[in-house]
Structure 1
Amino acid sequence: MRRLFLLLIATLLGHWTLQAQGYHISVKLKNFTGGRFFLAHYMGKSTYLADSADVNPAGEVVLQGKEKLLPGIYLLVLPGKQQYVETLIDKQQVFSVALDTSDLVNKTVYKGSPDNDSFLEYNKFLFQQETLSRSIQQQLQAARTAADSAKAQPLQQELGKKIQVFRSEFITKHPGTILSTIFLAMKEPEVPQAPAGADSLFAYHYFKNHYWDEVDLQSDRLVRTPILEGKLKKYFTQLVPLHPDSIIVDCDAMIARTRKSKEVFKFVLWWLTYNYESSPYMGMDAVFVHLVEKYYVPGEAFWMNDEQLNKIVDRAYTMAPNLIGKQAAPLEYKDTASKPLSLYKTAAKFTVLVFWDPTCGHCKTEIPRLDSAWNASWKSKGVAMIGVKTEGTREEWLQFIREHHLKGWVHGSDPQSATNYRRLYDVYSTPMVYLLDEKKKIVAKRLGVEQLQEFLDRITPKDTVSKL
């Protein structure tokens, strides 16, 4: 009896330890006798592998680990990677699930996971609504008159309201659960009626100011879901003014909201850094440089090793000298006759500074187009053209200039890179184009011919007389 009692205690302790420290997910698959089963998780809208195991001949697989999984929406991916089931992971990480590929919504059964029972109920509800939605879409497509369409569209709106009601009722009945956290994050602020005397931007300011009210940024629950990235993307593309100074203020405010969760802080800082380092919009590199200087240089990117950190800091320091609004770095070069020249000795109302390579395919197209635009329009606006050779031989450079009649340009080269122009002007590809003002301050960069034309048209009067 004593041995049985000790065995029971050991079993209970083992089970408790598993629950407290790790995860144990048992899966029963119908019609599978082998193959590899995968557990993946969202990180934003991307998915990453968390674990995998072989399916035994009885169609069973066990996914387990000594460390608890971080909370979020995970994917149970069936062998062959053609089908999967989303599942919730939160505090309860020891449970089982039976999957039937003939109907992964209505025939999935969980045991020991109330969170997933609720999630399954929600997915069944969505499945029913989507079936109705498809029927309505078919009605819309088949509608022959505007009156027919008018009858079907309110039905579509009603379905959306039903989903919102389902989520709201669930939040009320099950506060504090991971699914309630997800539903709250999916909500958007309801803008009240504007008070008397309010300006025309009341709705915008209210919506923006309350956008994050229901989003849990204090715990790790939303990082491994697509929800947080979606919220970030909408906020910074639709609500924050597209100006570096405004974006920097909102980035800092956003990061400040995440300080109680290392995982949220990590994800938000990473997302902002990546988003603005790779932004297609001119001037956004200033945001990237700010983030690196304020958070990475002081060592707050705790997840990075020294090599990774050095790379991102080096990238920011390469960008810093050539941000829009900065004074262009001094640039010394030799002209086609090998006479020394200087960027600052070329007086002009505006200067288009182009780093180019006579052997570069893109340059072969763009340089003649830049020259045509200059002759047709920019010259009369007081624009000087300075072209600096980056690659190719001296003979190839001179031949290109002759063949394309690039007269009136200031042509230069710095074959020994004595001025370190590649770093100072971040010349990692060609052609690299900068627009400088009369005092050689950077006003625009990395613009194509059409964009340069539009920019110059905006900032110069039509009757500008050339100073050249």
Structure 2
Amino acid sequence: MRKIFLLLLTALSIQLHLHAQGYQLSIRLKNYNSGKLFLANYMGRTTYLADSAEVNPAGEVVLKGKTPLYPGIYLIVLPGKQKYVETLIDRQQFFSVTIDTADLVGKTVYKGSPDNELFLAYNRFLFQQESLTRSITDQLKTARTAADSAKVAPLQQELGKKLQEYRHELVSQHPQAILSAIFKAMKEPEIPQKPEGEDSSFAYRYFKGHYWDEVELSTDRLVRTPVLEAKLKKYFSQLVVNMPDSIIVDCDALLARTRKSKEAFKYVLWWLTYNYESSPYMGMDAVFVHLVEKYYVPGDAFWLNDEQLNKIINRAYTLAPNLIGQQAAPLELKDTASKPVSLYKTKAKYTVLVFWDPTCGHCKTELPRLDSAFKASWKDKGVAMIGIKTEGTREEWLSFIRDNHLTGWIHALDADNSTNYRRLYDVYSTPVVYLLDERKKIVAKRLAVEQLNDFLERSGQKNTAAKL
């Protein structure tokens, strides 16, 4: 599937002008007297260049601009791009830092940046726990049995307790610091004891219901960190019911919480849209279409230019007619003898539509496999096969059907392109497979032979159970 949002990822990182005095980072490097230094920021797990400057012979470099940097975790990447120092950016954007490559944690010194003094102290604390962390890692690597792994548990609990206590103390003493916002977002809800009368789903419902409580979604301070993406990924992959209707409800609820921050809204909407446009799971395109219709069509995606916006909207309009649960678009075609073929006049318990090209390498592999499954079991289940030629000559088409003994199928084509099937069925590569029910409603699409076979088997078992 064409992933249009890979083309738009750079648009996400374009910064808006803010009304403030800009920024200036004065950096002194020990053991460097030339080269280029880079400043980058996180956007999820990816990093983007924010600024750069040459190091002077004294090992000094100044990064400055008239427009303030957005808050987040930034990387001061040293010349050669082999080493970097993570730096926090928030309200205070005029500060200096001295970096000694001999000890990036122990000898780095900030002046005029309380946020980074807190961050540096935390990193030094982590460095102090390195021996305990290494011991845990080594024991897990050599663990042979569950009992071996269980022996490591007390060490893991000890380390976890130390980290939580440190973070809790920092949040208590510096509640407004950006590092506190990061720590609060990283912490997961603590599930209380199940109240009397609650069922077994209480823990899940509580955890999901309080998952975003400590996450700053009304500011932009978490957008340029890896934290927000990690939270989104866990929430929508582990906590939200993997059904389009449920996902849509959670998408809308989450986006409503970001409305006070343009940057948070922009990032969350982009992440959701890309995630469900490119999802490998069948039916998730319904989420993509919903997001486009609710947020992009009215103009809420303020960061996109007209060309980018039109690409997204056109993609959604292409998918909308062929979503799971929709009635399949009518097809009036001609068969190999140029006689009329009508999708809706083809009566069958199930109809498998296959858009294919006799010159396509993948089609040459998949068509015989579909035919084998059809003759082995699908035909007995009341399945009708309709193969529709998309490319290639008439001679190539007829020759492939004959040479591969694709008998029992309805073979058809739209010689004069009157059905607009490419747009209605989103056919831009081949083969494309749809499964329709008795009323020609789309029940599955873009499935491999094995997945389609499993789907038909499950459907048959359900029908048998219903009759009993």
Deviation of 1:383 (Å): 0.4
Match of residue 224 from structure 2? 224
Q: Distance in 2 between matches of 1:335 and 1:343?
A: 12
Alignment of 1:416-455 (within 5 A): 416-455=416-455
Match of residue 285 from structure 1? 285
The CA deviation string for residues 68-112 of structure 1, in whole angstroms up to 9 with x for no partner, is 101000010111111111100000001111111122111111111
1:23 aligns with 2:23: yes
Match of residue 399 from structure 2? 399
The CA deviation string for residues 242-274 of structure 1, in whole angstroms up to 9 with x for no partner, is 000000111110111111111101111111111
Deviation of 1:441 (Å): 0.4
Q: Distance in 2 between matches of 1:425 and 1:353?
A: 10
Match of residue 13 from structure 1? none
The CA deviation string for residues 407-429 of structure 1, in whole angstroms up to 9 with x for no partner, is 00000111332111000000011
User: Residue 146 and residue 403 in structure 1: after superposition, are their counterparts in 2 closer, same or farther (change >3 A)?
Assistant: closer
> Comparing 385-394 with 132-141, which one deviates more in the overlay?
132-141
Q: Which amino acid counterpart does residue 263 of structure 2 have in structure 1? A: E
Native 8 Å contact 2:37 2:55 kept in 1: yes
Q: Distance in 2 between matches of 1:380 and 1:145?
A: 49
Q: Distance in 2 between matches of 1:210 and 1:160?
A: 21
Deviation of 1:462 (Å): 8.7
Match of residue 254 from structure 2? 254
Aligned to 2:338, what secondary structure does the other structure show?
A: coil
Match of residue 70 from structure 2? 70
The CA deviation string for residues 226-255 of structure 1, in whole angstroms up to 9 with x for no partner, is 111111111111000000000011111011
Deviation of 1:139 (Å): 3.9
Deviation of 1:132 (Å): 1.8
Q: Distance in 1 between matches of 2:266 and 2:456?
A: 40
Alignment of 1:172-251 (within 5 A): 172-251=172-251
1:50 aligns with 2:50: yes
Deviation of 1:142 (Å): 5.1
Q: Which amino acid counterpart does residue 413 of structure 1 have in structure 2? A: L
Alignment of 1:49-448 (within 5 A): 49-141=49-141, 150-448=150-448
The CA deviation string for residues 24-77 of structure 1, in whole angstroms up to 9 with x for no partner, is 001111111111110000111111010011111111111000011010000101
Aligned to 1:398, what secondary structure does the other structure show?
A: helix
1:461 aligns with 2:461: yes
Native 8 Å contact 2:34 2:59 kept in 1: yes
Match of residue 11 from structure 2? none
Native 8 Å contact 2:435 2:445 kept in 1: yes
Q: Distance in 2 between matches of 1:242 and 1:140?
A: 33
Aligned to 2:429, what secondary structure does the other structure show?
A: coil
Q: Which amino acid counterpart does residue 65 of structure 1 have in structure 2? A: G
Q: Distance in 1 between matches of 2:174 and 2:20?
A: 23
Larger radius of gyration: 1
Please, what is the CA RMSD of the aligned residues? Answer: 1.6
Q: Distance in 2 between matches of 1:349 and 1:413?
A: 23
Q: Distance in 2 between matches of 1:38 and 1:343?
A: 60
The normalised TM-score by structure 2 is 0.93
Native 8 Å contact 2:132 2:155 kept in 1: no
Q: Distance in 1 between matches of 2:95 and 2:184?
A: 25
Q: Distance in 1 between matches of 2:245 and 2:458?
A: 21
Q: Distance in 2 between matches of 1:379 and 1:461?
A: 16
Q: Distance in 2 between matches of 1:462 and 1:313?
A: 38
Deviation of 1:295 (Å): 0.7
Q: Which amino acid counterpart does residue 111 of structure 2 have in structure 1? A: K
Deviation of 1:144 (Å): 7.8
Q: Which amino acid counterpart does residue 76 of structure 1 have in structure 2? A: I
Aligned to 1:345, what secondary structure does the other structure show?
A: coil
Count of matched residue positions in the alignment of Structure 1 and Structure 2: 446
Deviation of 1:363 (Å): 0.7
Native 8 Å contact 2:52 2:63 kept in 1: yes
Native 8 Å contact 2:325 2:441 kept in 1: yes
Aligned to 2:129, what secondary structure does the other structure show?
A: helix
Deviation of 1:115 (Å): 0.3
Deviation of 1:136 (Å): 3.0
Q: Which amino acid counterpart does residue 400 of structure 1 have in structure 2? A: F
> Comparing 361-370 with 96-105, which one deviates more in the overlay?
96-105
Q: Distance in 1 between matches of 2:262 and 2:126?
A: 33
Deviation of 1:461 (Å): 3.4
Unaligned runs of 5+ in 2: 1-18
Q: Distance in 2 between matches of 1:417 and 1:103?
A: 69
Q: Distance in 1 between matches of 2:293 and 2:140?
A: 53
Q: Which amino acid counterpart does residue 253 of structure 1 have in structure 2? A: A
1:41 aligns with 2:41: yes
Native 8 Å contact 2:98 2:108 kept in 1: yes
The CA deviation string for residues 434-454 of structure 1, in whole angstroms up to 9 with x for no partner, is 000001000000000010011
Q: Distance in 2 between matches of 1:148 and 1:250?
A: 41
Q: Which amino acid counterpart does residue 312 of structure 2 have in structure 1? A: I
Q: Distance in 1 between matches of 2:165 and 2:462?
A: 57
Deviation of 1:432 (Å): 0.4
Q: Distance in 2 between matches of 1:403 and 1:382?
A: 25
Q: Which amino acid counterpart does residue 233 of structure 1 have in structure 2? A: K
Match of residue 7 from structure 2? none
Aligned to 1:427, what secondary structure does the other structure show?
A: coil
User: Residue 427 and residue 144 in structure 1: after superposition, are their counterparts in 2 closer, same or farther (change >3 A)?
Assistant: closer
Q: Distance in 2 between matches of 1:390 and 1:110?
A: 65
Aligned to 1:21, what secondary structure does the other structure show?
A: coil
Unaligned runs of 5+ in 1: 1-18
User: Residue 109 and residue 425 in structure 1: after superposition, are their counterparts in 2 closer, same or farther (change >3 A)?
Assistant: same
Match of residue 5 from structure 2? none
Aligned to 1:97, what secondary structure does the other structure show?
A: strand
Q: Which amino acid counterpart does residue 165 of structure 1 have in structure 2? A: E
User: Residue 52 and residue 267 in structure 1: after superposition, are their counterparts in 2 closer, same or farther (change >3 A)?
Assistant: same
Deviation of 1:156 (Å): 2.1
Q: Distance in 2 between matches of 1:344 and 1:244?
A: 27
Native 8 Å contact 2:387 2:409 kept in 1: yes
Deviation of 1:149 (Å): 5.1
Q: Distance in 2 between matches of 1:148 and 1:461?
A: 44
Q: Distance in 2 between matches of 1:336 and 1:179?
A: 69
Give aligned-pair identity as a percent: 76
